[in-house]
Amino acid sequence: MELIPFLPKGDKMYKRRTPGSKRDPVKQWALPDKVFFAAGACHILAYAFLETYPDSHFQSFWIRPIEGHTGNHIVVVRGDVVFDYHGYSNWGVYWAHTKRRATQMWPGWDADIVAIRREALVSNAEAREHVGLRMKEPLEYLFDPLSRARRYLQKFAAPKDLGGHFRAPV
């Protein structure tokens, strides 16, 4: 199994264009899987990943934009390997891509990388320790987003054969 050595040129950082798709459960559910898990349900995908691969040594992280900026995202990381809706990538390349694309959309964008517990991904009560972290809980979606995430994960190889040192990404 190979990592994506780089994110393909032109690979998208998704920004919702459908008006109301974040607040309208029907519009949000109708988004293609890649867009659904890129913009609005990344935390659900991260939770499903950790649930599916509990012994993988991956940890969830919140990409928390600095004050005044948008672009929150949740990923799982093990050493220099990151997983999100793109699949597996090298953390350094992924982070450079993320910062480049975000600053193109939002000048001055930067972010902190914050470790979060798995339970906080699906429970706002558990997420309270992180100021500003508020995500939709599974019951707030039109249908079961965890089942959808588990199906989406089947498109990717299991992480057991990946390398990666066990350290935080930054």
Residue 114, exposed/middle/buried by CB under 10 A (0-12, 13-18, 19+)?
A: middle
pLDDT over 70 percentage in the chain: 81
Q: Give the pLDDT confidence score for residue 21 in this predicted structure.
A: 58
Q: What is the pTM of this model?
A: 0.84
Task: Read off the pLDDT of residues 43-73 as tens digits, 9 standing for 90 and up.
Answer: 999 999 999 999 999 999 999 999 888 888 9
CA–CA gap between residue 167 and residue 149 (Å, rounded)? 26
Residue 85 in tokens: 């809706």
Q: Where are the domains of the chain?
A: 25-160
Does residue 156 have a pLDDT over 50?
yes
- Using an 8 Å Cβ cutoff, are 109 and 144 in contact? no
